Amino acid sequence: MPDADTHNPQPGPHGPGVRIHPPLIYACSILGGIGIDRIWPLAMPPGLHGPLYAGIILVPVLLLAGLCLYEFHKAGTDVRPDRPDSTLITGGPYCHSRNPLYIGLTLVQVAAAVWLDKAWVLAMAAVSVIVISRYAIRREEHYLERLFGAAYLDYKQRVRRWI
C-alpha cells in the first residue's frame, strides 16, 4: 500500500522546486530568437521597432515589477521560486493576476524584440510562456495549494492565472 504522504506531500523546505530561475528561461529564449534570426532574418513589421517603442513597453513593466516586489517585501516572503513562501500574496498587482511578474518578463521579451527589430525574439516569447506555464507555474500552483490550502484555492477561483 502506498505511503499516504505520496498522495498529499507536505511542502518542502525549498519551495515549489523551480530550480531554473524564470528570468534565465526568458533570457535563453531571447538569445534563441537572436540565433534563429542569424540563420533566417525576420524583421518586425515596419514602424514597430526601435528604442522609443521598447521604452514605452518597459516603463509600465518597471512599475509593475516594483509594485510586485513591494508586495513581497511587505509580506516578508521571498520572490524567488526556489525558496519557501511564508505568506500568500493577494494584494497589489496580485489581485488582478496570479502571475504579474511573469507577465512583466514576457513584456521585457517583447520590448527586446521591438528594440532589436527581431520578429523571432517576439515569436520566441510564446515559447517562453509555454515553458514558464508548464515548468514554473504548475509547480508553484501545486506548492501553494499544499501550503495554503483553501485560501489559495479561493484565490485561484477569484483571480485569473494571467490577466
Output the pLDDT for position 45.
86
* In-domain check, residue 108: yes
Residue 7, judged by CB atoms within 10 A of its CB (0-12, 13-18, 19+), counts as exposed
Output the pLDDT for position 47.
82
Output the pLDDT for position 2.
40
The type of residue at 27 is: A
* In-domain check, residue 6: no
In total, how many domains does the chain have?
1
* In-domain check, residue 39: no
Task: Give dist(CA 71, CA 69) in Å, integer.
Answer: 5
* In-domain check, residue 83: yes
* In-domain check, residue 18: no
Residue 56's domain comprises 46-158
* In-domain check, residue 9: no
One digit per residue, pLDDT tens: the chain, 163 residues?
A: 343 333 343 445 568 888 899 999 999 999 999 999 999 999 888 888 899 999 999 999 999 999 999 999 999 999 998 889 999 999 999 999 999 999 999 999 999 999 999 999 999 999 999 999 999 999 999 999 999 999 999 999 999 999 8
* In-domain check, residue 1: no
* In-domain check, residue 64: yes
Output the pLDDT for position 9.
39
Supply φ then ψ for residue 91, to 5 degrees. -100, 180
Output the pLDDT for position 8.
40
Closest among 105, 100, 103 to 26, alpha carbons compared: 105
